[in-house]
Structure 1
Amino acid sequence: MSGEQDAIVAGTDGSEGSLRAVRWAAREAAQRHARLHVVHACAPLVGLYGAGLSALRGASEQIRRAARERLDEAVRVAHDAAGDEVVISSEMPEEAASPLLVERSRRARMMVLGSTGTGGFTGMLVGSTAVQVSAHAACPVVVVRGREAAEGPVVVGVDGSRGGERALATAFEEASRRAEPLVAVRSWNDAEFPGYYGNLYLTVDWDEIEKDEQRTLTEQLAGWAGKYPDVEVERVVVRDRPYRQLLEWSSRAQLLVVGSRGRGGFRGLLLGSTSQALINHADCPVVIVRPGQDQ
């Protein structure tokens, strides 16, 4: 069985942002009684012409040694955060970060990444790695950023999509496990209504639309509330853009959960604009859940 099988997987590149993600992952692994697998992607001089030359081979070895030191540091950080309660494994494949982490996500319980960093030795910013992995991972991806509060609600964005339904499942599970309330946010705005109605736009009954949104949210939450009767749920329906509301709630949340509209193929990357805004600006860790991910 490989090290990442059903484990929490933390990607690291030696940056402070990624080490912070490793600490978060280690604490989560201890609370969940799960294993932790730490991954450092190291692809020295990939694609360089003449990489077989002795000078370049020497540079590659230096890069590998430095990468091993950074991986060892991340493992020490994980042990310090989790103590002896967690089984910790690690690996340093010579592969590019994003496709490697997506592949590891197929057997992982959760993938944890930092929101900023140098991208290790692949020349890729961790921010872009986080976006790519979030758009393609086979398990929920946590981007650790902002505050790390020990208390506070779990906040979930509700939009009625397949990804949103799976985000609801994840949010209820997290709220129940953390013994915290759940805030379900459904936001809508006038930009969602076609502009070709002309003057009819002025006759739209916004109060009636808000009532419809309230009813829709209640229906979407009903099944999950019955499955998790221990979770106190606050319903929030507001006329605003989703990312603005969720960013505001992130300043009070312990965890923020949203769905993703990821598509296959790195060149065809599509991560919802709301998800991207939260990865870049949220004030607490963000969980991205894609359609098709099993809960």
Structure 2
Amino acid sequence: MTGPAILVGVDGSDCSLVAVDLAVHEAALRGRPVRIVYCDPWADHPAWAHNDPAGELAGGVLSDPQRAIRAAIDRANTDEVPVTGEVLAGNPTTVLIRESADADLLVLGHRGRGGFPDLLLGSVAVTVAAHAACPVLITRGTPTTGGEVLVGVDGSPSNHAAIGFAFHEAALRSVDLRALHTRRESNITDHGSMAMVDSGSEYVEQDQVLTEALAGWSQKYPQVVVQRQLATGRAAHALVAASDRAQLVVLGARGRGGLHGRRLGSVSHAVLHHAACPVTIVHDVSQEQGVATT
């Protein structure tokens, strides 16, 4: 297997071992190797400046980082994909963002070893998802076996990369793609937890947003069946509700209302906290650099 690796960050927590499971699954789908890393901030301390951060302690005792790497490699335990593990010195967010530049995908647990019970998403996951140079897959809930891939569509240029990524994931998994677009309107009919769009001008306008956003991708991925869904109300609520029947949610990092300098939009932030299945955040690098997407 060649090409950029699937990078997965571990810290010794059970949640990070679930991230290893997801990383191995993605690597098998994509034909990529898995690279497991443990980021050790203490290895930057002057007292450890001349020591190998992955090395054994006196008497052959494994360090905490090395134990975490060993556990992660044991968890991977597969002949399907090559798996390597290493300890890297530095702050986890800084190191993971740096290493993401050479990765095909970065996989993280939604909460680390030091997470507070009441927090739904750890600070490392939030920060890395906002700034990584590759798509970031965050563990959430339980993927629905055979479930669809769900992508949020907002019609913004920065959403283009997320839609393409979602098509690719649906093709790899041989499942349907649900493209969901929402807009707040007053003329709606409430159906349970999600308000569906009435026929008329609102429907036509929203349907056009979907049509334009999906244009070209269906031709590139003719094997992917697309389920188009239009709704009104809060986008995050609609996406979280739809995630119940999905195996993966794909979102752009920033939506139409994203503020300059803020790399993770409010919808992506909310869905990361509450989705019923794993969530991938995709940055459109060309848009962030001011280059028009073709």
Band of TM-score, shorter chain: 0.7 to 0.9
Q: Is residue 2:95 matched to residue 1:103?
A: no
- Structure 1 distance, partners of 2:113, 2:80, is 31
Give 1:12's aligned residue. Answer: 10
1:240 to 233, 242, 256: 233
Q: Is residue 2:214 matched to residue 1:221?
A: yes
Q: In the superposition, relative to structure 1, how do residues 293 and 132 fare at CA in structure 2: closer, same or farther (>3 Å)? A: farther
Structure with more relative contact order (C-alpha pairs < 8 Å, separation 6 or more): 1
Identity of aligned residues (%): 39
Q: Is residue 2:154 matched to residue 1:156?
A: no
SS at match of 2:166: helix
Q: CA deviation at 1:286?
A: 0.3
Larger relative strand fraction: 2
Matches within 5 A, 1:145-294: 145-190=140-185, 207-261=200-254, 270-292=263-285
Give 1:24's aligned residue. Answer: 22
Letter in 1 for 2:170: A
- Structure 1 distance, partners of 2:90, 2:199, is 52
- Structure 2 distance, partners of 1:160, 1:45, is 45
User: What stretches of structure 1 of length at least 5 have no aligned partner?
Assistant: 53-59, 192-204, 263-267
Matches within 5 A, 1:72-87: 72-79=70-77, 83-87=78-82
Q: CA deviation at 1:5?
A: 6.4
- Structure 2 distance, partners of 1:144, 1:163, is 23
Q: CA deviation at 1:174?
A: 0.6
- Structure 2 distance, partners of 1:34, 1:150, is 22
Q: Number of matched residues?
A: 258
- Structure 2 distance, partners of 1:293, 1:254, is 28
Give 2:85's aligned residue. Answer: 90
Q: CA deviation at 1:51?
A: 5.5
Judge conservation of contact 1:127–1:280 (CA < 8 Å) in 2.
Answer: no
Give 1:144's aligned residue. Answer: 139
TM-score (norm 1): 0.80
RMSD, matched Cα: 2.9
Instruction: List per-residue Cα deviations over 1:128-153 (Å, max 9, x = no partner).
Output: 11111111111110001101233111
Matches within 5 A, 1:107-126: 107-119=102-114
- The worse-fitting range, judged by mean Cα deviation, of 162-171 and 104-113 is 162-171
Instruction: List per-residue Cα deviations over 1:102-130 (Å, max 9, x = no partner).
Output: 1111010000000012259xxxx971111
Judge conservation of contact 1:106–1:137 (CA < 8 Å) in 2.
Answer: yes
User: What stretches of structure 2 of length at least 5 have no aligned partner?
Assistant: 49-55, 187-197, 256-260, 288-292
Judge conservation of contact 1:5–1:107 (CA < 8 Å) in 2.
Answer: no
Larger relative helix fraction: 1
Q: CA deviation at 1:162?
A: 3.0
Instruction: List per-residue Cα deviations over 1:195-251 (Å, max 9, x = no partner).
Output: xxxxxxxxxx99412321111211221211111111111111111111001000111
SS at match of 1:238: strand
Judge conservation of contact 1:179–1:231 (CA < 8 Å) in 2.
Answer: yes
Give 1:199's aligned residue. Answer: none
Q: In the superposition, relative to structure 1, how do residues 278 and 178 fare at CA in structure 2: closer, same or farther (>3 Å)? A: same
TM-score (norm 2): 0.80
Judge conservation of contact 1:261–1:291 (CA < 8 Å) in 2.
Answer: no
- Structure 1 distance, partners of 2:176, 2:15, is 28
Judge conservation of contact 1:44–1:64 (CA < 8 Å) in 2.
Answer: no
- Structure 2 distance, partners of 1:140, 1:92, is 22
